[in-house]
Amino acid sequence: MSSEPNLLEDVREQLCSCAMGLKLTPDIEAFLKIPMRELFVALPVHMDDGSIKLFRGFRVQYNEALGPTKGGVRFHPEETIESIRALAALMTWKCALHNLPLGGAKGGVICNPKELSHRELERISRAYIRGIYQIIGPERDIPAPDVYTNPQVMAWMMDEYSKLSGKNEFGAITGKPTSLGGSAGRYDATARGGWYAIKEAAEELGIGLKNSRVAVQGFGNVGYHAAYLAKKLFGCKVLALSDSKGGIYSEAGLDPEDVSGHKLSTGSVRDYPGAENITNENLLALDVDILIPAALENVINGNNAKKLQTRILAELANGPTAKSAENILFNKGIHVIPDILCNGGGVIVSYFEMVQNQYRLQWEEREVQILLEKKMKEAYHSVLDFSLKNKVNMRQAAYTLAVGRVVEAMQLRSWI
Ligand code: GLU
């Protein structure tokens, strides 16, 4: 077995660790460790130079006991079926934890969007939907944005699905542009939801958010909005930011909007005037109150966990902390807001989008934010209470609550 962190193994182990408390039989535990359905697709795509290139994609529907499956689509050059499986499992626990009537899924296409033209990206997005058309739909499985996919990609996907079904099917995809049935407030929902949870955690720990020290790893949709809202909503000091090329640090605090302009013109946050260049590893080890990993999985692991100095670790990425880091963080007294709790804002507002599409409604942004805050607060306190009452860490508490709900639904449906 490799010593490299493996998200799928970690997710399965986490399940074992709460299986005892839930009194799961070995058969039920085994069922929960594998996806219910997986589809592999080969996508021949016409490239701009006239050639035809073959791309590979997957869709994993992990568990649908609680409702139609839900989860994003990642476009990434190093995508693997194993990581998609793990992420589909995380979606299942995430939807259950936040009491959404949805199961969990995830999809991916192995491709590098940074090397594709706009038209090539469109053809891949449409080909992917043609490939998985038979198993998705508003009552089956509803894709959404994830790493390197965005509202434009969702618009193409919704359009392709609608063409194939012969009618407008806005509810087949979420995370769409607002002019095409997307929900107000979906664009920053993951980051905003995360901050609603951080606010509760900060109160619990007696940390005043004004001028608190924040570092954010990742500067995609989630990372950017996490940094922007830190300053805008709570007056925090954003000391460090990073992207896949590296990071920047300023003791005086950074202006995320201005850094975004710099990234747009130079391709990276690096070399931002007045800031010091740092590595992604340096960023994780900074002396901050709140550390927000908002990029990819396994960035905090057994090798670097002991260097963390933060008081709150708010996991806006999916699976940023490997299992090998868990006890180290616990012993250091770091308050972890686990991914399935912290980053639930995205799928919560996706669910609101589905409801609006079904009834042809368009809610105001403020309405969406108020409902999102209520759901995040409820979920945060249910996890915290469970963790304190049962003397387990926040991740175990979140998993136990979530898996318990999925098991109950499977029992009520007589699947087990
Ligand atoms: N990709 C997001 C996540 O990992 C959102 C999924 C969705 O909206 O369905 O939670």
For 293-352, the pLDDT digits (tens) are: 999 899 999 999 999 999 999 999 999 999 999 999 999 999 999 999 999 999 999 999
Give the model's confidence band at 128: pLDDT under 50 very low, under 70 low, under 90 confident, else very high: very high
Report residue 48 as tokens. Answer: 């701009």
137 and 117, same structural domain? yes
Q: Do strands 69-76 and 103-110 pair parallel, antiparallel, or not at all (unpaired)?
A: parallel
How far does residue 347's CA lie from ligand 1's centre (Å)? Answer: 5
* 381 C-alpha to ligand 1 centroid (Å): 22
Of ligand 1's listed atoms, the one at least distance from the Cα of 146 is 1
Q: Is 106 designated active site?
A: yes
What CATH number did the domain enclosing 209 receive? 3.40.50.720
Q: Which amino acid is at 271?
A: D
In a domain, 50, yes or no: yes
Last residue of a domain, one of 180, 203, 238: 180
Nearest to 40 by CA among 58, 62, 26: 58
Is residue 231 domain-shared with residue 318, that is, in the same domain?
Answer: yes
Domain with 142 in it: what CATH number?
A: 3.40.50.10860
What is the pLDDT averaged over residues 237-260? Answer: 97
Asked if residue 16 is part of any domain, the answer here is: no
pLDDT at 290 over 60: yes
Does 209 lie in the same domain as 118? Answer: no
The DSSP secondary-structure symbol of 363 reads -
Are 111 and 225 found together in one domain? no
Exposure string for 30-59, b = 16+ CB within 10 A, e = fewer: ebbbebbbbbebebebeeeeeeeeebebbb
Query: What's the pLDDT band for 256 if we cut at 50, 70, 90?
Result: very high
Show the domain range for 291. Answer: 183-416
The best mutation among 347, 348, 351, 352 to test binding of ligand 1, ranked by most ligand atoms within 8 Å of the C-beta, falls on 347
Residue 3 has pLDDT above 80, yes or no: no
Contact 144, 171 (CB under 8 A): no
Helix or strand or coil: residue 380? helix
Residue nearest (by alpha carbon) to ligand 1 atom 8 = 347
In a domain, 11, yes or no: no
Looking at residues 64-81, what average pLDDT do you find?
97
Same domain, 172 and 82: yes
Residue type, 393: N
Per-residue pLDDT reduced to its tens digit, 138-148 = 999 999 999 99
The predicted structure's pLDDT at residue 85: 97
CA 380, 384, 385 angle in degrees (round to 5)? 115
Burial of 7 by CB count in 10 Å (0-12 exposed, 13-18 middle, 19+ buried)?
Answer: buried
Please give the Cα distance from 98 to 118 (Å, whole number). 35
Helix (H, G, I), strand (E, B) or coil at 106: strand
Residue 60: name the closest of 106, 103, 95 by CA.
Answer: 106
Domain termination residue (choose one: 160, 180, 200): 180
- Ligand 1 neighbours by CB, cut-off 6 Å: 70-72, 144, 146, 174-175, 318, 343, 346-347, 350
pTM value > 0.95: yes
Dist. CA 391 → ligand 1 center (Å): 30
Span from the CA of 156 to the centroid of ligand 1 (angstroms): 18
Ligand 1 centroid to residue 25 C-alpha, Å: 30
For residues 258 and 74, what is the distance between their CA atoms, to the nearest angstrom? 27
Residue 312 falls within a domain, yes or no? yes
In terms of domains, do 152 and 301 share one?
A: no
Atom of ligand 1 nearest to the CA of 174: 8
* Residues 388 and 267 occupy one common structural domain: yes
For the CA of 346, the nearest atom of ligand 1: 5
For residue 31, tell me if it sits in a domain: no
* Ligand 1 atom index nearest CA of 90: 4
How many angstroms does the Cα of residue 236 sit away from the middle of ligand 1? 26
Type of residue numbered 319: G
Mean pLDDT, the chain, as a whole number? 96
Is the pLDDT at 1 greater than 50? The verdict is no
Q: What does the block give as tokens for 36?
A: 């219910």
Least confident of 28-32, 132-136, 183-187, 191-195: 28-32
Instruction: Write out the two tokens for 402.
Output: 């979530």
- Residues 155 and 213 grouped into a single domain: no
Residue 405: Cβ within 10 Å count: 17
The preferred substitution site among 76, 153, 190 for testing ligand 1, maximizing ligand atoms within 8 Å of CB, is: 190
Atom of ligand 1 nearest to the CA of 72: 1
| Same-domain check for residues 144 and 192 | no
Nearest to 9 by CA among 120, 60, 83: 83
**Residue 4: predicted pLDDT:** 66
With the most atoms of ligand 1 within 8 angstroms of its CB, the residue from 11, 60, 146, 342 to mutate is 146
d(CA 193, CA 62): 24
Q: Which of 70, 94, 106, 375 is catalytic?
A: 106
User: Total structural domains in the chain?
Assistant: 2
In angstroms, the CA 246 to CA 237 distance is 20
Q: Which amino acid is at 133?
A: Y
53 by DSSP, 3-state: which? Answer: strand
Give the model's pLDDT for residue 2.
42
Per-residue pLDDT at 18: 79
Same domain, 203 and 311: yes
Tell me the angle at which helices 7-19 and 81-97 cross, rounded to the nearest 10 degrees.
Answer: 40
Q: Are residues 272 and 149 in the same domain?
A: no
**Contact in structure between 47 and 120 (CB atoms under 8 Å):** yes
Question: Shortest CA distance to 107 belongs to which of 174, 187, 181, 40?
Answer: 40
Distance 1 CA to ligand 1 centre (A): 30
Q: Which amino acid is at 36?
A: M
Asked if the structure places residue 1 within a domain, the reply is no
Q: What is the pLDDT of residues 356-404, one digit of tens each?
A: 999 999 999 999 999 999 999 999 999 999 999 999 999 999 999 999 9
Q: Is the pLDDT of residue 355 over 50?
A: yes
Which of 141, 158, 180 terminates a domain? The answer is 180
Residue of 7, 85, 183, 350 to mutate, ligand 1, most atoms within 8 A of C-beta? 350
